Amino acid sequence: MPIYKRLFIGLELPASNKALMEELDPELHGLRWLSAAQLHLTLSFIGDVAQEHQAVLHDSLQQVRVPAFFLPLQGVGFFRARGRPSVVWVGVGKGHPHLFALHKHVQDAILHAGLEADLKPFHPHVTVARSCGISTQALKPWIRRHESDDFGLFEVKDFVVFSSVLAPERAEYHEELRVSLVP
């Protein structure tokens, strides 16, 4: 019987950036703030990958050649699902061509490994909270107050293949592979 891991590819954030995001927690009823260990920027969600395909994926991702770059973390917003807030996020400012180039190369590597790439439009963000029934009306004043906040700049020197184990309280992430970018 094949062994599967639930995989995604993301950028790990420095502790200093995570600390600024944790301070944001408005402690609003109906909003579940994520722990620092869960904060990352997802480049691509892959899903369940059989063990025999993981090595091929790792080999393919190690061929990604993108220069290191700096990425700002700025502003907050939220995504909706069925008309209600679903996720609160911290953004990456006004478009960053190096981040989009990295995303494209990662997607190409996933396809080259014979796996299905995440074909949803790429909206780079760091999920900081999940909705547990909060209304748009309750969330909007807080969003307006923080929509231009600055959460620091960090150097993107690598990306990580994470495995994710779902648990009742929160998902647990484990580093499977770290790929360095070109200095």
> What pLDDT digit, counting tens, does each position of 44-68 carry?
999 999 999 999 999 999 999 999 9
Region 71-80 average pLDDT:
96
pLDDT at 83 over 90: no
Query: Taking the domains of the chain in order of start, what are their residue ranges?
Result: 4-180
Query: How is residue 99 written in tokens?
Result: 């981040």
Tell me which of 119 and 78 has the higher pLDDT: 78
pLDDT over threshold 80, residue 31: yes
What CATH superfamily is the domain 4-180? Cyclic phosphodiesterase (3.90.1140.10)
